[in-house]
Chain A
Amino acid sequence: MAELDIDAVAGAAWGGGVAPFATNTKKLGMWLFLLSDSLTFSTAILAYAYVRLASPAWPRPFEIYPAIANATFLTFILLSSSLTMVMAVAAAHRDDVRKAVMYIIFTAIGGAAFVILHLMEWFRLFAEGVTPWSNHYVVNGQPGDPLFGGTFFGLTGLHMLHVSIGVIYLCIIAFGFGKRKFNADHVEVSGLYWHFVDLVWMFIFPMVYLMSVNLTVKP
């Protein structure tokens, strides 16, 4: 079966002979998706800030060790996986298939490690009795706001879902690029998605973890 040349079709549909943003449609589509997805996360984070401000008994349970140390390590993993993704895109554009696939696999491994470590933290919290609808914290003599768990697991869960989808996406891209079914543009577009997932964590980490450091315990 002849391969469908998306760029040629897009060029015909545009009819102007030039791509309006000097980019292919895949990339433009991914940018527009990321624009809408960033609004999803923005509203989720703003809603969290709102209920937190409105609550008289919002817990600040995270101690430097293990919670903050763990989240800092997760940040390091995501930033490093972004670096390997940039290297993968550069290698793909150089047409260095072997290196590109290797770097994409490294990136996917980083993403998988992130999900596993984050899930371990979730289960540690579940074992402590923190769930999306209840917690055992006491703030100013009042029971901690149950919305703490709702917003914490909601925000980090939505992000973890994005990371998990990203890992699957990267595995498909690595396989397809290795088989020469996909070209360097596909790798670049998957890279955009991956960096966005990293970017979102750059807001969740300070808003959810660092703003909730337990100040009653000496670090």
Chain B
Amino acid sequence: MSAHEATAVATHQPGSKKLFMWVWFWLLILTGIEVLLAYLRLEPHVMLVLLVGLSLIKSALIVAYFMHLRFEKIGLFLIIVPSLVFCLVMILIFVFPDSLRIVALHNIHP
């Protein structure tokens, strides 16, 4: 077990119990704000932008603190996050113009 113990020491976890409780608390607050938005009867596109924005903040909190990415070597962040963003942007470039075309068709033939 000595090699295992050595690894455990080498990858020792920063972040305290208090910090994790705070992150959990803020995630609950952001969830509460999202649910409140559902009561406000906003326009769908405003609602969508706000919800996606809040969800991105929540996922950033989870990845940074719960998944410890903030405390890892910067190289790990650099191979994961930019490649994910790149793939998502590529998907959006292909999909979005077509979904807008369909919206335009609805307007012509309601």
- Cβ of A76 within 8 Å of any chain B Cβ, yes or no, is yes
- Cβ of A102 within 8 Å of any chain B Cβ, yes or no, is no
**Which of A23-31, A141-149, A163-171 faces chain B?**
A23-31
Given contacts A21-B72, A23-B73, contact A82 B62 (CB under 8 A): yes
Give residues in A with beta carbon < 8 Å to B. 5, 7-8, 20-24, 27-28, 31-32, 35, 38-39, 42-43, 46, 49-50, 53-54, 56, 64, 68, 72, 75-76, 79-80, 82-83, 85-87, 89-90, 92-93, 95, 180, 183-185, 188, 191-192, 195-196, 198-199, 202-203, 205-207, 210-211, 213, 215, 219
Among B15, B47, B59, which residue has its beta carbon within 8 angstroms of that of A199?
B59
Between A and B, 5 residue pairs with Cβ closer than 8 Å are A24-B7, A32-B80, A90-B13, A199-B63, A207-B51
Task: Categorize the interface residue count of chain B.
Answer: 35 or more
Question: Is A93 within 8 A of B13, CB to CB?
Answer: yes
Question: Is A211 within 8 A of B47, CB to CB?
Answer: yes
Among A23, A54, A92, which residue has its beta carbon within 8 angstroms of that of B99?
A54
Extra A-B contacts (17), CB below 8 Å, given A35-B80, A82-B62, A89-B13 = A5-B4, A21-B76, A39-B84, A42-B87, A64-B39, A90-B13, A90-B17, A180-B1, A183-B5, A184-B7, A184-B8, A185-B4, A195-B67, A198-B62, A202-B58, A206-B34, A211-B44
**A interface, over-half SS:** helix
* A interface footprint on B36-68 (CB within 8 Å = 1, 0 otherwise): 011101001001100110110011001100111
